[in-house]
Amino acid sequence: MMHAILRASCLASLAVGLLAGPALGQGDVEDLVKKRDEKMKSEWLQQASWTTDYDAARAQAKETGKVIFAYFTRSYSP
């Protein structure tokens, strides 16, 4: 039962993301990229070795035997 609820929740999130994506114009995307880049320059983000490449993170986690800590934000989403 819990798996079905989790699966439905994930599918609903994916659907919302797919429907919202086309609403962005090119200028909006460029603005979001600029804001993301500015955020990534924040001091607290510079204190750790972050990656935005999921496959690289998985490989590093496997090599080191550590788990992946993922930080998700929607600060700049419309």
C-alpha 71/C-alpha 51 separation (Å) is 10
Distance of alpha carbon 54 from its chain centroid, rounded? Answer: 9
Please identify every stretch of the chain with a pLDDT value under 70, giving residue numbers as ranges.
1-26, 74-78
**Residue 55, Ramachandran bin (φ over 0: left; ψ between -120 and 50: alpha; else beta):** alpha
Task: Tell me what pLDDT residue 65 has.
Answer: 96
Domain boundaries along the sequence of the chain: 2-64
Query: Is the pTM above the cut of 0.75?
Result: no
The length of the chain is 78
Task: Tell me what pLDDT residue 67 has.
Answer: 93
Task: Tell me what pLDDT residue 19 has.
Answer: 53
